[in-house]
Amino acid sequence: MSSNLYDAAYQLERAIRQSQEFTALKTSFAELNADPGAKNMFENFRQVQMSIQQKQMMGQDISQEEIQQAQKTVALVQQNHKISKLMEAEQRMSMIVGELNKIILKPLDEMYGPADQM
């Protein structure tokens, strides 16, 4: 890989690190991690989410009990300000990463083309 590519990638890495959105994400993350109760609630919520997603991907059935458990964890995290703040910051960051990827991968998208993918 040429140094041109490395230099440009590291420049973008610095821009992300210094961005308002990343700084906000880091702050929200630190605030949640400083609150063990909220942190635990959030990790539990993520685990329940992942377990359901995995089952859906594998085509497995999701039990009524699992649906109820998921709804309960969603209701809990929605009431916690630190968690909702972190989730919003994560969503913004994820949108930015998506936009950056769209820009960066434009040469490849143009080459393969939308209608004539190989």
Q: Which is nearer to its own copies, 35 or 68 (CB)?
A: 35
Q: Are 5 and 49 in contact (CB under 8 A)?
A: no
How far is it, in rounded angstroms, from Cα 89 to Cα 75? Answer: 19
Q: Which is nearer to its own copies, 7 or 88 (CB)?
A: 7
**Distance of closest approach, residue 47 Cβ to its own copies, in angstroms:** 10
How many positions of this chain bind its own copies (CB under 8 A)?
44
Residues 21-80 that bind its own copies (CB under 8 A): 21-22, 25-26, 29, 42-43, 46, 57-59
For position 14 contacting its own copies by CB under 8 A, the verdict is yes
Q: Which is nearer to its own copies, 13 or 88 (CB)?
A: 13
Q: Are 45 and 77 in contact (CB under 8 A)?
A: yes
**Distance of closest approach, residue 32 Cβ to Ca ion, in angstroms:** 9
Q: Give the number of residues written for the chain.
A: 118
How far is it, in rounded angstroms, from Cα 58 to Cα 27? Answer: 36
How far CA 87 is from CA of 17, 40, 44, 60, 98, in Å, comes to 18, 15, 14, 27, 16
**Residues of the shown chain interacting with its own copies in the complex, contacts defined by CB under 8 A:** 1-2, 4-22, 25-26, 29, 42-43, 46, 57-59, 93, 96-97, 99-100, 103-108, 111-112, 118
